[in-house]
Structure 1
Amino acid sequence: MGVTDVSGDMAGEMEVDAFRRLFPLRFYERHLSESIRPDARPLGKSRDTTVALGAVASADGSALAKIGHTTMLAAIKMEVMTPTSDSPDEGCIAIDFHMPAICSPLVRPGRPAEEAPVISKQLTDVILSFDGCWLFSSGMVNMKELCLIPGKAAWMAYLDIYCLDADGALFDAALLSAVAAFSHLHIPAVSLNDEGRVVSVSEEQVEGNSIKEPLNKGKRKLTLSSTPFALTCILHKKYILADPTAEEESIMETLVTVVLDVTGRLVSFYKPGGAFLAYTSAVQDCIALTRQRVKELQKILIDAIADMELD
């Protein structure tokens, strides 16, 4: 009797798996009609999310962010540059998003992923303005904090984000990792040498007053005046699915991504194709889900910072 039951269960699972592969949309719609998803999540619930700061020891700021299986590694390296004549008292931030072949079977070795430049531009639009060195409305970083000597020296922050596992909602996880990396960032201590050049110094040198002109006393953190978070939703018929997996994104085309700061202010609304949104209530529902998600992500980030300080 036991063997028969096991064989029946296996046959049933094979039939479900075959139906899911052959008719993926119908498979999902059967679940949606019961307000549930195949992974047992309610339609408006995001996947479990974790953030770990200081994931890259050689970087000045870094973080590992996971939303479900989607995994992003963000690292920031600081270099001294000559500021532009248009912004002599400001630094700059350069953002690159990478999708190596290990992140998805759809990404081929030697070929850049189509999503990578799109997500890079989205990140730049949210964190920076189109001018490159001016802040966008999110006001995440005060660029004047990156200035060392007006007109002569400022910091260039190179932010690189690597997708290690691409299982949906890539922009949401990428932005979360970027925000976490900036929260962890410690600007290196530098000083002027005898030739008037900016050079790095150790914290022991600064504390011992063994250097002539320290430009900043020890490593310091940036002030993040506003912190943006994102939530991607799928709109399918009358249903709204928050934080979709890669499978869900491949089956249902209409995606919207809402970016809010921690005060609830709208920073960005992004819709890459799909069906036209004929009703505004769907947009309002997506924004409401994003407000709830922002509170969750803010707490996750605060807890990660607290854990880092305890260590």
Structure 2
Amino acid sequence: MGLPNVSGDLSAEMDVDAFRRLFPLRFYERHLVESIRPDARPLGRARDTTLALGAVASADGSALAKIGLTTMLAAIKMEVMTPSTETPDEGSIAIDFHMPPICSPLVRPGRPAEAEPVVSKQLSDTILSSGMINLKELSLINGKAAWMVYLDIYCLDADGALFDAALLSAVAAFSHLQIPVVSLNDHGKVVLMSEENEGGKDPVNKEKRKLTLSSIPFSLTCILHKNYILADPTAEEESIMETLVTVVLDSSGQLVSLYKPGGPVLAYTSAIQDCVALTRQRVKELRKILDEALSGMEVY
């Protein structure tokens, strides 16, 4: 490799892949000035997204969501619990996000990924604050029995925008969820029909049912770099450009939350407004993908 020329144009004197590895930010900025990204996407376009419902046969509700290469598997299991005295007519939801070592070379065996508790809390806050699920709908017998909903999300491939894919898989799993049938046994205890079907009294709920979901949240993560906004970043883009903004809107376009984990403080609001506008477009796409998945159509 020769010495750089007077203008400092190193890219003219080395292999493109080498230039990308050694000077990743300069490599990206050469594309950004043309309003394009190395994967040929326009700056404001998200990656191809797919949904598959019922991916885990043993779960009460499940979904596999892919945004580009980022892949999430969400599964829900229901258990009967005694509700708290503070909310005797409500059930509960527990959400855990997992990043096994297979999802990324950055995740080491035996060491929990730093993103796990962050994404878990963000998911819990978003799902509960959005009003998507009425916890009273999870009540079985006031003060005596309610549903405990365990939602586990496993990241199978981490290639950026983890929260967006995790939230989409969670929403799809709740949309696919069928609440099991339960009955009272001879001791007055609420049990699953499959456990004590013959010895039970009249069912508490006579057939499996779906939750009534409202204000369904969807999100879009954007990178802000100089005057550019990159929607749905890859892991490479997230690693070289610091300022991330995640906008969460419900299916009617109302703001649920805005999350900015790091990067410099923004001194202007126009970039945030542009991110919200991009998210509104994305919500329409995701709503359509979810509806098509629910209707049994395969989405590409």
> Which TM-score tier does this pair reach, normalised by the shorter chain?
over 0.9
Q: Which residue of 1 aligns with 2:5?
A: none
TM-score w.r.t. structure 2 length?
Answer: 0.92
Residues 113-122 or 193-202, more deviating: 193-202
| Map 1:12-23 → 2, pairs under 5 A | 15-23=15-23
2:256 aligned with 1:264: no
Shift of 1:211: 5.2
- Compute the displacement of 1:275 (Å): 1.3
Query: How much has 1:276 moved relative to structure 2?
Result: 1.2
Query: For residues 58 and 187 of structure 2, what CA distance do their matches in structure 1 show?
Result: 28
Letter in 2 for 1:254: T
Q: Give structure 1 regions of 4+ aligned residues with deviation exceeding 6 angstroms.
A: none
Mapped to 2, the partners of 1:193 and 1:212 lie a distance apart of 6
CA-CA distance at 1:57 after TM superposition: 0.3
Deviations 1:228-270 (A, max 9, x none): 0000000000000000000000000000000000111100100
2:209 to 205, 220, 228: 220
Correspondence for 1:191: 183
In the other structure, the counterpart of 1:7 is none
Whether 2:193 is the aligned partner of 1:201: answer: yes
Q: Distance in 2 between matches of 1:308 and 1:238?
A: 39
| Distance (whole Å) between structure 2 residues aligned to residue 225 and residue 168 of structure 1 | 28
Tell me the equivalent position of 2:227.
Answer: 238
* Deviation string, structure 1 residues 190-222 (Cα, Å, up to 9, x no partner): 0001110111115xx69xxx9532110111000
Q: Equivalent of 2:279, from 280, 284, 290?
A: 290
In the alignment, structure 2 segments of 5+ residues that lack a partner are 1-11
Alignment partners' CA distance in 2, 1:259 and 1:239: 20
- The total of aligned residue pairs comes to 285
- For the pair 1:148 / 2:140, whether they are aligned, the reply is yes
On the 8 A contact 1:53/1:308 being kept in 2, the answer is no
The residue type paired with residue 181 of structure 1 is A
Measure the CA separation in 1 of the matches of 2:104 and 2:284.
30
Between structures 1 and 2, the one with greater helix share: 1
Trace 1:1-311 onto structure 2 (pairs within 5 A).
15-128=15-128, 136=129, 138-202=130-194, 212-307=201-296
d(CA) in 2 for partners of 1:25, 1:211 = 65
* TM-score of the superposed pair, with normalisation by structure 1: 0.89
In the aligned structure 1, how far is the partner of 2:118 from the partner of 2:165? 14
Alpha-carbon separation, structure 2, partners of 1:225 and 1:165: 29
Q: Distance in 2 between matches of 1:35 and 1:305?
A: 35
Q: What is the CA–CA distance in structure 2 between the aligned matches of 1:225 and 1:88, rounded to whole Å?
A: 22
Cα distance in 1 between the residues matched to 2:289 and 2:23 = 37
Deviation at 1:308, TM superposition (A): 7.0
Q: Secondary structure at the match of 1:213?
A: coil
**Could you list the runs of 5+ residues in structure 1 that have no partner in the other structure?**
1-11, 129-135
Structure 2: which amino acid aligns with 1:75?
A: A
Instruction: Measure the CA separation in 2 of the matches of 1:249 and 1:149.
Output: 47
Q: Secondary structure at the match of 2:212?
A: coil
SS in 2 for 1:182: helix
